[in-house]
């Protein structure tokens, strides 16, 4: 089943740190408009980001400037329920992919975001207690109500993806996965192979490994950074982050990197990576530095 109906931008704007940036509403609007002006129209959220505050902060902008909604695709995720100190009903971190929780989470996200629908809903993490039939019921109910147009998953293995897909008569649109030179598991466990087979484009989170590629002091990060520095001299890239995004995007599953920055210059630098073409040997030099050995 090939998935082609949803069109996302080549880079995704990630807002998981929006609350941490402590910006004013005018500055948040300026950031969103900057992304849109640069061709980044897909906005990635999750109900839990910023301790449930990020969607509301984003939604404040849409309530002030509702015309912006029609220029973007809004993505959100649900299913993680963190413990809440002092709340005896939420005493342990857990997952909840029940029908009722998925529906109630979406309704809360819509209220927080100031929109009538999500372009894409993802199940944030695979749930050991996941009932695929019940999840499908939630998806069908939300789609029938017009509250969610497309569905996908996040951090799912190929077998977990196939289980959910087996209960649906429409195609899941993506699998949002961690992918960087320091997190390559999905390249080797069949996840990205599955994306190629199905013709879906994965979304890639933490491409810069949470900053470890730029400043990490462990041996592995240092090895990768040294190779990136050599390749920067060869290519004339402005900074190392551009090479990382180029490396991620070179995979034939055509990942869509998520940019988690509120800095306009860093956003522009990330987008400029689309003009960088690594040679196969440069790509494998980065892979080798991460693995600590050559290919077999």
Give me the residue label for tokens 């949002």: 176
Q: Tens digits of per-residue pLDDT, 226-256? A: 999 999 999 999 999 999 999 999 999 999 9
CB 147 within 8 A of CB 106: yes
CB 112 within 8 A of CB 54: no
How far apart CA 206 and CA 177 sit, in angstroms, is 9
Indicate which residue of 49, 52, 95, 117 is catalytic. 49
Which secondary structure element, helix H or strand E, spans residue 42, and what is its range? Answer: strand 42-44
Total Cβ atoms within 10 A of residue 87: 8
Q: What is the pLDDT of residue 70?
A: 96
Confidence of residue 5 (pLDDT cuts 50, 70, 90): confident
Q: Taking 60 as the threshold, does the pLDDT of residue 296 lie above it?
A: yes
CB 205 within 8 A of CB 178: yes
Q: Tens digits of per-residue pLDDT, 262-277? A: 999 999 999 999 999 9
How far apart CA 2 and CA 197 sit, in angstroms, is 8
* Alpha helices (H) in 38-157, listed in sequence order: 49-52, 54-64, 99-113, 132-144
Kindly state the average pLDDT of the residues 27-56: 97
Q: Tens digits of per-residue pLDDT, 124-162? A: 999 999 999 999 999 999 999 999 999 999 999 999 999
Question: What secondary structure does DSSP assign to 190-240, as a single string?
Answer: SHHHHHHHHT-PPEEE-TTGGGHHHH--SHHHHHHHHHHHHHHHHHT-SSH
Query: Left, alpha or beta for 209 (phi > 0: left; psi -120 to 50: alpha)?
Result: left
Closest CA to 110 of 13, 45, 175: 45
Query: Left, alpha or beta for 211 (phi > 0: left; psi -120 to 50: alpha)?
Result: left
The C-alpha angle 263, 78, 262, rounded to 5 degrees, equals: 5
- DSSP summary character for residue 81: E
Identify whether 95 is a catalytic site residue: no
Strand, coil or helix: what is 178?
A: strand
Closest CA to 114 of 157, 70, 177: 70
Confidence of residue 49 (pLDDT cuts 50, 70, 90): very high
Strand, coil or helix: what is 130?
A: coil
């Amino acid at each position: 089943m090939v998935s082609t109906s949803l069109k996302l931008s080549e880079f995704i704007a990630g807002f998981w740190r929006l609350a941490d940036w402590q910006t004013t509403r005018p500055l948040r609007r300026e950031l969103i408009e900057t992304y849109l002006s640069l061709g980044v129209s897909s906005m990635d959220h999750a109900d839990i980001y910023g301790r449930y505050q990020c969607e509301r902060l984003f939604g404040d902008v849409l309530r002030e400037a509702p015309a912006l909604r029609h220029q973007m695709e809004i993505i959100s995720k649900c299913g993680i329920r963190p413990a809440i100190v002092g709340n005896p009903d939420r005493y342990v971190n857990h997952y909840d992919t029940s029908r009722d929780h998925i529906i109630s989470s979406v309704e809360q996200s819509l209220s927080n975001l100031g929109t009538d629908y999500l372009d894409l809903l993802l199940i944030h993490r695979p749930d050991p207690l996941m009932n695929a039939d019940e999840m499908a019921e939630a998806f069908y109910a939300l789609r029938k109500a017009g509250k969610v147009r497309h569905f996908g998953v996040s951090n799912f293995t190929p077998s977990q993806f196939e289980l959910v897909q087996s209960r649906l008569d429409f195609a899941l649109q993506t699998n949002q996965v961690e992918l960087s030179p320091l997190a390559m598991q999905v390249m080797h466990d069949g996840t990205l192979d599955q994306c190629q087979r199905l013709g879906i484009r994965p979304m890639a989170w933490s491409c810069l490994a949470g900053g470890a590629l730029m400043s990490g002091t462990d041996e592995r990060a240092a090895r990768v950074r040294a190779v990136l520095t050599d390749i920067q001299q060869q290519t004339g890239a402005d900074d190392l982050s551009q090479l990382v995004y180029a490396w991620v995007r070179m995979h034939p599953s055509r990942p869509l990197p998520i940019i988690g920055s509120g800095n306009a210059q860093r956003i522009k630098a990330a987008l400029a990576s689309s003009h960088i073409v690594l040679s196969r040997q440069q790509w494998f030099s980065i892979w080798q530095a991460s693995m600590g050995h050559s290919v077999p």
